[in-house]
Homo-oligomer: A and B are copies of this chain.
Amino acid sequence: MPLKKQLSPRKQPTQARSRATVSAILEGAAQVFCREGYAGGTTDKVAKRAGVSVGSLYQYFPNKDALLLALADRHAEEGFAMIHLLLSEFKAEMPRLEVFLRQFVQSLFDLHMREPELHRVLFNEAPLPSEFFEKKEAKEHEFSIGVSRLLAAHPEVSCKDPALAAHMLVQTVEGLVHGYIFFPPRAISPENFITETVFMLHQYLSRSAETLG
């Protein structure tokens, strides 16, 4: 029963120099963990690749796993930002359902496509703390509420429980995209994959489906 390790950054880099150091370290970490996987990615390698001494690394990150967490956080933040952007765009003016879905799926797809291997390491090898997932969950729940409002208000959409629908929407996209990224099926092009996903969700949400519920 090991006490939970400290994973949060050690000190906030305030001066310009330290900020540079920190981002060099993160960049190095991303590259090293990409190439070498979780186990093979040693802190020494990370420091070396970042052009920084191990000591500096540990000045800002209390241990190896904190590096992974920071990377995962960075990724999550990007995702959140993207969704946030989408949501606020659509709050102003909701486009046709299909357009909305396509944009949503495409954005998440692009996000994951950027560094698929880092992704694999982050989510299939790294022992990310449950706190990370809880935070992610919470954030996703928050977005779900936003999405459910959009769905509830959308003329093309019909569903009994918009909150549930929103949750399914988010989860489905995440699940499918993850699956596609990690093992891209040769037979299905990204375009087809996205189109089909959008189609499925459209069917799920659209009014014409109502009669079947």
Contact = CB atoms under 8 A, between A and B. Distances in A.
Nearest to A171: B179
Interface in A58-92: none
Interface size on A, as a range, is 35 or more
A55 interface: no
Contact of A204 (B180, B183, B199): B199
Task: State the majority secondary structure of interface residues on A.
Answer: helix
A98 B44 CA distance: 55
A5 to B, nearest CB: 11
Interface string A157-184: 0000001100110011011101110110
B200 A39 contact: no
Contacts of A213: 199
A38 interface: yes
A204 B206 contact: no
Contacts of A167: 185, 187-188
Q: Which of A196, A208, A211 has the most CB of B within 10 A?
A: A196
A209 interface: yes
A16 interface: no
Given A171-B175, A171-B179, 12 more contacts: A124-B125, A124-B128, A125-B125, A141-B185, A167-B188, A168-B197, A168-B200, A172-B172, A174-B179, A199-B204, A203-B209, A208-B211
Interface of A: 2, 37-40, 123-128, 133-134, 137, 141, 163-164, 167-168, 171-172, 174-176, 178-180, 182-183, 185, 187-188, 192, 196-197, 199-204, 206, 208-209, 211-213
10 closest A-B pairs by CB: A175-B175, A203-B203, A200-B204, A203-B209, A171-B179, A203-B204, A137-B183, A125-B127, A175-B176, A175-B179
19 contacts: A39-B127, A124-B125, A125-B126, A137-B185, A141-B185, A163-B187, A167-B187, A167-B188, A168-B200, A171-B179, A171-B180, A172-B172, A172-B200, A175-B179, A200-B201, A203-B212, A204-B204, A206-B212, A208-B208
